Amino acid sequence: MKWRYAISYGNMKPGDTGEKLEKDVAKYKAELENVGIKMLFWGHPFGVSENVVWVLDLEGSMDKYIKTMDITSPITGQRTDFVLER
């Protein structure tokens, strides 16, 4: 089994606008790429209490995801679900 995707949910920071979030996510996406993780999608989910979601391609490595802990996320209250691949 390999770690394939990380699906993270969180909330915009208080006072942020959609334009600010878009800029912050672009910066976060570039920082993720520096540690070898590709952000496949991001947007606003339905049916959950959070208002931001993104999907990260881990390419089989949890070590890459652990490196994201050193990157400041543009959202708060983040929770993550992982998808495994056989």
Domain tally for the chain? 1
Q: Residue 19: inside a domain, yes or no?
A: yes
Q: Residue 49: inside a domain, yes or no?
A: yes
pLDDT of residue 35: 92
Provide the domain limits for residue 4.
1-56
Q: Residue 79: inside a domain, yes or no?
A: no
Q: Residue 11: inside a domain, yes or no?
A: yes
pLDDT of residue 60: 86
Non-local (6+) Cβ contacts of 58 within 8 A are: 3, 4, 5, 6, 37, 64, 65, 82
pLDDT of residue 1: 84
- pTM for the complete prediction? 0.90
Per-10-residue mean pLDDT for the chain, 86 residues long? 94 92 96 95 94 94 90 94 93
Q: What angle do CA 39, 71, 27 make, to 5 degrees?
A: 55
Q: Residue 26: inside a domain, yes or no?
A: yes
